[in-house]
Amino acid sequence: MGLVTCDVGISVDGFVAGRNQTLDEPLGVGGEHLHRWMFEEPEQHAAELAAITEAGAFIMGRNMFGPIRGEWDEPWSGWWGDEPPYHAPVFVLTNHARDPLEMDGGTTFFFVTEGIEAAMEQARAAAGESSVSVAGGASTINQYLAAGYIDELRLHIAPIVLGAGERLFEGNAGLDLEPVSSRSTSLVTHVTYRVGVTETG
């Protein structure tokens, strides 16, 4: 069975999205600056970018999949156009059942209504020996961290202060982390943590 990983962009003050997330600003006020490194320095971060998409299956919360709440009354197919960057099954946590949605390039969105454990089981079955990536947002990551599923947490710390928004680590006081590696460019600091291995003092 592969690792369960989580890559997430975060501000220095601990937010993975700004306040007021909308259709036009899906990451909230200022949140788009979290990902400048991806778009402005892709060559310098080729290894980190490859690691993000190497998982055999992904899990995300409904709010990361799209801005629609309640029943699926619109033909929303995600933020990523006809060919999303996942190229693998993506399990979307939702309270509202929906048929699987097959996209170009190998991405299929499956809608899971039975909760985070069921989604993890399905993602692991789909991934086989490959890793499963918990893709976001904050609430989904925080739930999987608290439930002990995540083996490796890869923070991509943008040098910005958002001041408000969606906070990583809520509900995870006392979480057991060990830094494995870190490196910086002018737009980001990558820090990889192993989760839940050592005893905290």
Binding residues for its own copies (CB under 8 A): 12-14, 30, 33, 36, 155, 157, 159-164, 167-170, 172-175, 177-189, 191, 193, 198, 200-201
Strand 108-112 versus strand 89-93 pairing type: parallel
CB of 32 to its own copies, least distance (A): 9
Nearer to its own copies, 50 or 200 (CB): 200
Q: Cα separation of 149 and 174, whole Å?
A: 15
User: Whose Cβ is closer to its own copies: residue 108's or residue 172's?
Assistant: 172
Q: In the numeric block, which tokens belong to residue 121?
A: 């089981």
3-state secondary structure of 124: helix
Nearer to its own copies, 39 or 69 (CB): 39
Cross-strand partners of 132: 4, 57
Q: Which residue is it, tokens 């979480």?
A: 175
| C-alpha to C-alpha distance for 88 and 25, rounded to whole angstroms | 26
Shortest Å distance, C-beta 178 to its own copies: 5
Q: Provide, rounded to whole angstroms, the least separation between the CB of residue 176 and its own copies.
A: 8
Q: Which is nearer to its own copies, 66 or 159 (CB)?
A: 159
53: part of which helix (H) or strand (E)? helix 46-53
Q: How far is the CB of 16 from its own copies (least distance, A)?
A: 11
